[in-house]
Amino acid sequence: MSQVPQNGDHIELRCSLGDLQVTIKGPQAQASALLQKITAPRQEESQASPRTESSFDLVSSIPEAAQSSETRSQIAASFAPCPRVHLAQASRLSGSSHSGEDRIRRAWLAGQWAKAVQEGRISTPNRSQQLDLRPRFYAVVRASDISGSALCKSAAAYWRIIEDLAQSSSISHAFPSEIEAQVYFAGAGVLDFDTRQ
pLDDT tens per residue across span 32-54:
777 767 765 544 444 444 433 44
% residues pLDDT > 90 (the chain)? 60
Neighbours of 85 (CB within 10 A): 9
Separation CA 159–CA 163 (nearest Å): 5
Q: What pLDDT is attached to residue 69?
A: 84
User: Is the dihedral angle over the CA atoms 81, 87, 93, 95 positive or is it negative?
Assistant: positive
Strand partners, 163: none
Q: Range of 13's domain?
A: 4-196
Beta strands 10-17 and 137-142 are: unpaired
Helical ranges in 22-71 per DSSP H: 28-48
Strand partners, 139: 151, 173
Which residues of the chain form beta strands (DSSP E)?
4-5, 10-17, 20-27, 54-61, 137-142, 149-152, 171-175, 193-196
Separation CA 54–CA 71 (nearest Å): 32
Arithmetic mean of pLDDT, 64-92: 88
Which helix (H) or strand (E) segment holds residue 196: the answer is strand 193-196
Tally of domains within the chain: 1
The reported pTM is 0.69
Separation CA 113–CA 3 (nearest Å): 12
Res. 86 pLDDT band, cuts 50 70 90: very high
Tens digit of each residue's pLDDT (9 = 90 or more) over 95-137: 999 999 999 999 999 999 999 999 999 999 999 999 999 999 9
Contact call for residues 120 and 67 (beta carbons, < 8 A): yes
Separation CA 49–CA 45 (nearest Å): 6
Q: Which of 130, 154, 129 is nearest to 140 (CA)?
A: 154
Model confidence at 70: pLDDT above 70: yes
